[in-house]
């Protein structure tokens, strides 16, 4: 099943407008960022499709971490992001459609 990624992502009280942007290297080594103040989530233009899914999951997990006050830390953010992405992809058969986000 192919699921369209929404342009605006909401997690609890947080909101982010998703953008593909050059030089989105603020989140160390992950080529993406979530800025709570500007409500922008940026993913780097150079990411391939698989990596883009992974960085999106990472940044959404940051939003969950902040909103739910988990204090997970960077490595655990990645582990949990990868885990729920694997659930969506490998168990539910969900493939992300990026056609609205360019």
**Among positions 9, 27, 43, 101, the unique one binding Zn ion when judged by CB under 5 A:** 27
Question: Which stretch in 22-30, 42-50, 81-89, 93-101 sits in contact with Zn ion by CB under 5 A?
Answer: 22-30
Task: Summarize the chain as % helix, strand, coil (round to 5).
Answer: 35, 25, 35
In the bound complex, what is the minimum distance in angstroms from residue 30's beta carbon to Zn ion? 5
Nearer to Zn ion, 60 or 101 (CB): 60
> Which residues are bridge partners to 43 per DSSP?
20, 32
User: Distance between CA atoms of 68 and 63, rounded to whole angstroms?
Assistant: 8
In the bound complex, what is the minimum distance in angstroms from residue 55's beta carbon to Zn ion? 9
User: Distance between CA atoms of 43 and 4, rounded to whole angstroms?
Assistant: 16
Tell me the site size for Zn ion, rule CB under 5 A. 1
């Amino acid at each position: 099943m192919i699921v369209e990624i929404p342009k605006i992502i909401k997690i609890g009280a947080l909101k982010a407008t998703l953008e593909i942007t050059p030089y989105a290297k603020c989140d160390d080594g992950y080529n993406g960022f979530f800025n709570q103040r500007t409500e922008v989530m940026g993913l780097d233009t150079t990411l391939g499709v698989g990596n883009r899914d992974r960085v999106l999951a990472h940044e959404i997990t940051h939003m969950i971490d902040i909103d739910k006050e988990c204090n997970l830390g960077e490595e655990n953010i990645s582990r949990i992001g990868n885990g729920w992405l694997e659930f969506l992809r490998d168990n539910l058969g969900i493939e992300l459609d990026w056609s609205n986000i360019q």
